[in-house]
Amino acid sequence: MKDKISSKIKDLPDSPGVYEFLDSKGRIIYVGKARRLRRRVASYFRPGRVTDSRLALLRSEVRDIKFIRASSEAEALIYEAGLIKDHTPRFNIELKDDKSYPFLKLTAGEEYPRLFMTRRRLGDGAVYYGPYVNVKLLKEALSFMKRVFPLRSCRRLRKSVCLEYHIGQCAGPCEKKISAGEYGDIVGQLKKFLEGRKDDLIRSLEEQMARFSRDREYEKAIFVKKRIEALTAVQQLHDRSQHPVYGELDELQNALNLPSIPVTIECFDVSNISGQQAVGSMVRFAAGRPRKAEYRKFRIKKVAGIDDYSMIREVVRRRYSRLLKEKRSLPDMVLIDGGKGHLFAARNELNELGMGSVPVASIAKEHNHLYTTSREQPIRLSPGSRLLLLIQRIRDEAHRFAVTYHRRLRRTEKFDTDLRKINGIGPKRERILLEKFGNIENIRRASQNELQKAGIDKMTTRLIVEYLHKGG
């Protein structure tokens, strides 16, 4: 029996989900959630672990282990509560004071039901899920569900659609954008999700999408298709041991009008000093997380002088000509650290490589503007928004990686930037300026105020501006 349990543990994924302990009669005696299933379950059976009598009894009665894979710990929280409610496993600690913990409430008696969080469980015929101990995870899960199952959240049905409709978090029943029957279908799908029946849910959605397509109701088919993508994309991420930042990626897809969620993003930057020792960097993010083993650095070989656009073209060409030659998977999106010129340099190179279908965008350091080739004006991202923070995090990582490589080259090779000819600039301040601005041209374009923000005193910044603007 010990060997069977060990084998079961080895078969568990190292990703979020819910685990069930079963006794000799196949009854569920304990349900738990975990961020990393294999590690959590293995902890119960670790040899020599000091246990209390209750845990020792639980271990002695376990004869089988089952699990449900989840897209995140927040989703696992939902499944855990549903399983405990349905099976009432005797080893799960009951929450005696339910009022201390929140529930999810699905209203009843309304033509268009609502789902929201509440701490009061009333005898009003509504369906309650929970209680949930981890409020933070519950809020994260609720946010996900609002995007996938766009039920209304207003207490009284409005006369016209609100912002939630325009951002895809409400189906718009107030203006009859959706019929009561179709809305009811979404409610039923939500119930399947809350009960942990995601595979059944996806199959029913696929059948619904096919039916809409046969009836030539293409807008409805696309609406269902997006829900399928939302539910399956995060699962595919975990098959590759990733933890998704779903909300930000969903917002990015909507902002750029992309055909699918950009799960993998590769970002490029170049760094040089007066055109010398030019280098490029490429960082890869999957589901909003860095994949450092897949970072790449480039020493610019074919560009002489200060020509950032040509440098971008070179590193993009070298990266993807190799991937294409080796028949390896391409990213869902390419991001460039720079402005519109950098963007079109990368776009042109991708087109020449036959990668015209791969979306590309750029973001400049000085503004919160996202440039695309499909729009004349940039997309202005709100300061502090989740999407902007994601884009900035990826861009800053590409910049950091390029500067780190550049700094390493400067240590190993003799190099003079001419900055040290300015009174008050020594090796330390030279390094600060180059790490902050990347190259001489960026320093030349910087205002005196921007130079001061880098930690340079007012008098020295004035000398820098005078020197560089005189052609130094």
Give the pLDDT confidence of 9-26 residue by residue, as tens digits: 888 888 888 999 999 888
What is the residue extent of each domain of the chain? Answer: 2-92, 100-241, 264-407, 416-469
Residues contacting 97, CB < 8 A, separation 6+: none
Mean pLDDT value across the chain: 81
Q: What pLDDT sits at residue 471?
A: 53
Among residues of the chain, what percentage have pLDDT more than 70? 86
Minimum mean pLDDT among 64-73, 210-219, 229-238, 289-298: which range?
A: 229-238
Which runs of E-coded beta strand occur in 333-441? Answer: 333-337, 360-363, 369-372, 379-380
Residues 2-11, mean pLDDT to the nearest whole number:
83
Give the model's confidence band at 409: pLDDT under 50 very low, under 70 low, under 90 confident, else very high: low
pLDDT for residue 472 is more than 80: no
DSSP for 83-151, please give it: HHHHH--TTSPP-S-GGGS-EEEE--SSSS--EEEES---SSS-EEE---S-HHHHHHHHHHHHHHS--
CA pair distance 472, 466, nearest whole angstrom: 9
Q: What pLDDT sits at residue 412?
A: 53
Q: Please provide the CATH number assigned to the domain covering 2-92.
A: 3.40.1440.10
Burial call 367-383: b when 16+ CB within 10 Å, e when fewer? ebebbbeeeeebeebee
Q: What pLDDT sits at residue 445?
A: 80
Minimum mean pLDDT among 72-81, 114-123, 263-272: which range?
A: 72-81
- Compute the C-alpha angle 450/454/455, nearest 5°: 120
Minimum mean pLDDT among 138-147, 150-159, 240-249, 402-411: which range?
A: 240-249
CA pair distance 22, 30, nearest whole angstrom: 7
Q: What pLDDT sits at residue 342?
A: 92
Answer whether 246's CB lies under 8 Å from 234's CB.
Answer: yes
Give the DSSP H or E segment for 20: strand 17-22
Output the six-digit token pair for 322: 């190799």
CA pair distance 238, 289, nearest whole angstrom: 12
444 or 47: which carries more pLDDT confidence?
444
State which CATH number among 3.40.50.720, 1.10.300.10, 3.40.50.2300, 3.30.420.340 fits the domain covering 264-407: 3.30.420.340
Among residues of the chain, what percentage have pLDDT more than 90? 16
Terminal-residue alpha carbon distance, the chain: 79
Give strand pairing partners of 297. 281
Output the six-digit token pair for 265: 């993003």
64-68, 127-131, 133-137, 373-377: range with highest mean pLDDT: 64-68
Answer whether 146's CB lies under 8 Å from 75's CB.
Answer: no
* The model scores a pTM over 0.75: no
**pLDDT per residue as tens digits for the range 314-349:** 999 999 999 998 888 899 999 999 889 999 999 999
Give strand pairing partners of 334. 266, 360
In 3-state terms, the chain is what percent helix, strand and coil (to 5)?
A: 50, 15, 35
Query: What's phi and psi for 456, nearest 5 deg?
Result: -100, 135
HSE-up (13 A, CA, CB side) for residue 40: 19
The one-letter amino acid at 190: L
Residues 46-53, mean pLDDT to the nearest whole number:
62
CA pair distance 351, 27, nearest whole angstrom: 59
Q: What pLDDT sits at residue 346?
A: 95
Domain 416-469 part of CATH 3.40.50.300: no
CA pair distance 399, 342, nearest whole angstrom: 14
Q: Minimal CA–CA distance to 341: which of 368, 304, 305, 378?
A: 378
